[in-house]
Amino acid sequence: MAYLSYGTHTIRYELSGPETGPAYVLVNGLTQYAELWEAYRDALVAKNFRVVTFDLLGQGESDKPSLFISQDDHVAVLRLLIDQLGDGPVFLAGISFGGIVALRYAIESGHRLAGLVAMSTFAELPPQLFLLGNVMRTGLILGGTSYLQDMLLPMNLSDAWLAPLLDKLESVKRQGWLVNDVYALQNLMESFLDFKPLTPRLHEIKIPTMILNGEFDFLTPRPLHDTLRSHIADSALVIVPRGYHAFTLEKSALTADLLVRFATDVMAKRWKGGGSVWIAPDEAGGEIEPFPEGYDHLRALPIRLAST
């Protein structure tokens, strides 16, 4: 475990894998901590990637500013981390809150990246997400971290994942509850109070971009990911079957495999984004299928696209 200085603050990070390999930097979601990427670290290191995981400012064992955290701070920390990685190819992947940080970094410093993976994330706050965010903030204030976790678990994970854990949910939640403080989570949430939509600047992202969206993600549903797809020229939207918002937790082997395949394709110059839409396999190593031609990927029903 290593520590990085950002102003008067300290950021905890971990660097794994061969020094000369291409790098993957993984950015946490709101209530995450670096250890939750362990399966990814192992899978990526096995494929000779260097892997950087870290706790965002305000999370886990990184410093937690008492009152104010700006989203600019997260981008600045990311810049410091990536600057340490030398000149080799760097792939950046972020989920949810971390996806926004990754998008912002790619807009401002895309030249430093070989590729971007945006997972369960968004560039705008439409009414449903805005109101859900408010509810989560109120839940955190009134019920603490544990209540927020109780809200997020059924919203973001499938019955199949939850069923065997129902009688031990407290132990599942405990580490996240221990390392996350209410005031710090509240500060992270309140960094959205002056959130400006990123959509007008998405076209500035010129690098290959893979957008991953769970089939059943209703916290950040498909239209939010489609905004990314339609504004980032060299992007492809890959739908993760039966995936919810936290599919990275539930389907780590599959997602890590998708990350490896994306980076490998980009480095071999095989990547073809072009705003295409795909369906990921159920299991790691399976075929990535194109979304059926002529059907609307924004609908849950098999609706044919209107002819133009």
Partner 1 sequence: MNSFLGPLDSQGRVPASQQTRVAAFLISAHSALARQLAIAVPLRLHAGWQTELHAQLYRETEIVSLLLRATSWVPDPAIPFLAISWETAWLPKPAMTGDGTEGLMIDMAALGHALHAAIRPAALLPLEAAADDPFVVALRRIEFESSRLMQAQIIFLKDPGLLPVRQDVNASVERRHAQVRELWTAMLEGIGVGCDQSGA
**Gap between the Cα atoms of 101 and 262, Å rounded:** 20
Which of the stretches 40-48, 65-73, 81-89, 122-130 binds partner 1 when contact is defined by CB under 8 A?
65-73
Strands (E), 59-167: 90-95, 115-119
**Gap between the Cα atoms of 37 and 52, Å rounded:** 10
- For the CB of residue 165, give the shortest distance to partner 1 in the complex, in Å: 16
Residue 46, interface with partner 1 (CB under 8 A)?
no
**Gap between the Cα atoms of 97 and 92, Å rounded:** 14
C-beta separation of 51 from 42 below 8 A: no
- Tell which one of 22, 29, 58, 60 touches partner 1 (CB under 8 A): 60
Which two tokens mark 110? Answer: 């895309």
Nearer to partner 1, 85 or 172 (CB): 172
- Tell which one of 20, 67, 194, 294 touches partner 1 (CB under 8 A): 67
- In the stretch 155-174, what mask flags binding to partner 1 with x, by CB under 8 A? ---------------xx--x
Which of the stretches 97-105, 142-150, 221-229, 295-303 binds partner 1 when contact is defined by CB under 8 A?
142-150
- For the CB of residue 58, give the shortest distance to partner 1 in the complex, in Å: 12
Which of the stretches 77-85, 150-158, 180-188, 280-288 binds partner 1 when contact is defined by CB under 8 A?
180-188
Which pairing describes strands 235-240 and 289-290: parallel, antiparallel, or unpaired?
A: unpaired
Q: Return the closest-CA partner of residue 264 out of 118, 119, 114.
A: 114
Which two tokens mark 48? Answer: 């000779």
Which two tokens mark 171? Answer: 């132990």
Binding site for partner 1 (CB under 8 A): 1, 35, 60-61, 65-68, 140-144, 170-171, 174-175, 177-179, 181-183, 186, 190
